[in-house]
Structure 1
Amino acid sequence: MSKYRAALPQLSDRLFLMDGGLETTLVFHQGIDLPFFAAADQLKDEEGTARLRRYYDDYARLAAEAGLGFVLDSPNWRSSPDWGARMSLSLAELEAINRRGIALMEEVRARHEGGRSPMVVSGVVGPRGDGYRPDGAMSAAEARDYHAWQIGIYASTSADMVAGYTLNYVEEAIGIAEAARRAGLPVAISFTLETDGRLPSGQPLKDAILETDAATGATPAYYLINCAHPSHFADVLETDADWTRRLRGLRANASRRSHAELDASPDLDAGDPEELGRLYRQLRTRLPRLTVLGGCCGTDHRHVAQIRLACTGMDAAA
């Protein structure tokens, strides 16, 4: 049974943390060869599952020791049918991987959740195509039908919600939101942004949020920004605007590099964790509803610890 599906606790004004860049941590810090950059491949065996368990435990502790909430985003960003086929997985094998991702999040929650630290299990959905480029764009109806398979699996588990990450054109966001609504799951929608603060499709973030809300009857519980440095989008965020009040989450990059530069780079640009924490605090000063905070490509527990310090005053060593 879901614990928070009827009332997500992160919709209050309390602070919630998320993890950092799972895939970049596995590849660059741990030397893991991830096929198609799919962290879910680690769920195939106990060694990989144990590796993921340690990863999430580190972040859950950061939240629990500070009395903060935590959103446990499952490692299933690339666990939809097309990506499963690329990894030569049958639908039955892929379904098992999606279920294992949720079961692992439940296990971590059972270990770390406390009265002051609610922990929400979130089933992650990623784009059908590339996270940086709107190649092979679908209609909203096509996206709804495509993502309904994975979201339907989450609906039959203890997942509290669905989160669609690294979405780079609005029709896919609308489709995911509609599939989640039909499945009876709360949904959060996160858009990838470029260095100009626009989606890779060229659409302004404001328009993408307003269009998604208009097409779905404001189905998303909230929106997030991912995969861009705060300097890339700070100028497009309007203080006290209705559309920015819909923004509650932030998974920024610590790197100032463009997506093209990151794709072509053989090394990891981890940026400056302390600077990233300060930039998060500055954004929260302007937009106090930004209360669900984690990292994206290149970030790790150091960055989230600095975000915690900057936004709560509690050092990671506390």
Structure 2
Amino acid sequence: MTIVTSEKSPAMPNPLEALLAEKQYLLADGATGTTLFAMGLESGEAPELWNETHPDRIRKLHDDFIEAGADIILTNSFGGTRHRLKLHHAQDRVHELNKRAAQIARSAADAANRKVIVAGSVGPTGELLEPLGAMTYDEAVDAFAEQIEGLKAGGADVAWIETMSAPQEIRAAAEAATRVGLPYTFTASFDTAGRTMMGLAPGDIHGVAEGLDALPAGIGANCGVGASDILASLLDMSAANSSATLIVKGNCGIPQFHGTQIRYSGTPELMADYVRLAMDGGARIIGGCCGTSGEHLAAMRAALDSHVRADRPTVDDIVARIGPLRNKQAKDSGASAGETGGRRERRRPRT
């Protein structure tokens, strides 16, 4: 697969690239779903509906992450396509719900005492594209464009395509963002024997946007399982193209059941060390996914600000400092331990 370098930039204005050029490294926010559950979101309830019913809680979500040091906040719109919203009988409200999500995040960002990027969260549709499913590529583009139009109308700076599995679905979302006129990033979850559930390997992610009219402002990985695995995937991505703007947004340790509640094992100290290793491994945008609270993010901010990039780690370095990989195939997949990608189990939707 041909590698796409970062030399060709999207044609539309890109506040994300401008802030990245200014600061070199950016901190993305933490967990949306985990935080909303702590605020009272019920299992099976659509977080996107809270943009209208509980806008004060969504605003607090963003305010808390900004206070903790986030340079990038993600809108509460992960399941904002017509296909996801149909599960909650809200498929005819795509534009208004996504617009409202972006407006809330925009108001929080504009109230900050520094530049904060509003990233319009775009998750998978939940449908399979042809030939595995019934959805055509053009239908996927249309669905994503409908969502991204709402995000743009609400003030999003960039379309943040995340937790993806199928390369064609990533391309469809990227094409939709370009059609709407927003720069975009995308991240995949490498959670099935070192690949996404649909077979994409970390080192091949650079070729996903090949041939599109606008190239991504950043690419990378999010969700999956713990920090060790996403850092191992980062090594594969940076080994394949060291000039790419790479993103990692890893889960806060490993999910563990405590009675009926799920808690994540990662401590603020562990997530701070994850940030240092991510910088050393080639990431430019670093954040947290499931389980990452404001307390974790504050420790990550301190690490990002104080760390001077050091030698590229190996997988063995990562395991020694962060903990074991969750997939035994990780060390057996690459040319060496230092160029081995992460191997993950199947993940839940981004929380």
TM-score normalised per structure 1: 0.80
- Per mean C-alpha deviation after superposition, the further-off stretch among 143-152 and 165-174 is 143-152
Matched residue type, 2:124: P
- Alpha carbons of structure 1 residues 196 and 302: separation in structure 2 relative to 1, 3 Å: farther
Query: Residues of 2 paired with 1:267 and 1:154: CA distance?
Result: 30
Q: Which runs of 5+ in 1 are unaligned?
A: 64-68
User: Match of 1:166, SS?
Assistant: strand
Matched residue type, 1:146: A
Q: Give the alignment of 1:154-193 within 5 angstroms.
A: 154-193=151-190
The equivalent of 1:55 in structure 2 is: 61
Aligned residues: 287
Shift of 1:178: 0.7
User: Match of 1:308, SS?
Assistant: helix
The equivalent of 1:88 in structure 2 is: 89
Shift of 1:148: 1.4
Shift of 1:120: 1.4
1:194 to 2:191 alignment: yes
- Alpha carbons of structure 1 residues 195 and 82: separation in structure 2 relative to 1, 3 Å: closer
Matched residue type, 1:30: M
Q: Assess if the C-alpha contact under 8 Å between 1:138 and 1:171 holds in 2.
A: no
The equivalent of 2:30 in structure 1 is: 20
Q: 2:216 aligns with which of 217, 220, 223?
A: 220
Matched residue type, 1:95: H
The equivalent of 2:264 in structure 1 is: 269
Shift of 1:139: 5.2
- Alpha carbons of structure 1 residues 255 and 273: separation in structure 2 relative to 1, 3 Å: same
Q: Assess if the C-alpha contact under 8 Å between 1:129 and 1:136 holds in 2.
A: no
User: Match of 1:216, SS?
Assistant: coil
1:207 to 2:204 alignment: yes
Shift of 1:307: 1.1
The equivalent of 2:39 in structure 1 is: 30
Q: Assess if the C-alpha contact under 8 Å between 1:143 and 1:171 holds in 2.
A: no
Q: Assess if the C-alpha contact under 8 Å between 2:203 and 2:237 holds in 1.
A: no
Q: 1:39 aligns with which of 23, 39, 47?
A: 47
- Per mean C-alpha deviation after superposition, the further-off stretch among 220-229 and 150-159 is 150-159
Query: Residues of 1 paired with 2:248 and 2:176: CA distance?
Result: 23
Q: Which runs of 5+ in 2 are unaligned?
A: 1-11, 308-351
The equivalent of 1:250 in structure 2 is: 248
Matched residue type, 1:285: D
The equivalent of 2:74 in structure 1 is: 73
Q: Assess if the C-alpha contact under 8 Å between 1:195 and 1:233 holds in 2.
A: no
Query: Residues of 2 paired with 1:140 and 1:280: CA distance?
Result: 36
Q: Assess if the C-alpha contact under 8 Å between 2:249 and 2:288 holds in 1.
A: yes
Q: Assess if the C-alpha contact under 8 Å between 1:76 and 1:123 holds in 2.
A: yes
TM-score normalised per structure 2: 0.73
Q: CA RMSD in A?
A: 2.8
User: Match of 1:20, SS?
Assistant: coil
Shift of 1:136: 4.5
Matched residue type, 1:17: L
User: Match of 1:214, SS?
Assistant: coil
Q: Assess if the C-alpha contact under 8 Å between 2:203 and 2:239 holds in 1.
A: no
**TM-superposition CA deviations, 1:113-163 (whole Å, max 9, x none):** x3xx311122211100189xxx84855444212211111223334221111
Q: Give the alignment of 1:143-154 within 5 angstroms.
A: 143-154=140-151
The equivalent of 2:108 in structure 1 is: 108
- Alpha carbons of structure 1 residues 33 and 136: separation in structure 2 relative to 1, 3 Å: farther
- Alpha carbons of structure 1 residues 304 and 196: separation in structure 2 relative to 1, 3 Å: farther
Q: Assess if the C-alpha contact under 8 Å between 1:10 and 1:292 holds in 2.
A: no
The equivalent of 2:285 in structure 1 is: 292
Query: Residues of 1 paired with 2:140 and 2:292: CA distance?
Result: 29
- Alpha carbons of structure 1 residues 273 and 137: separation in structure 2 relative to 1, 3 Å: farther
Query: Residues of 1 paired with 2:223 and 2:117: CA distance?
Result: 22
- Alpha carbons of structure 1 residues 286 and 197: separation in structure 2 relative to 1, 3 Å: same
Shift of 1:196: 4.2
User: Match of 1:213, SS?
Assistant: coil
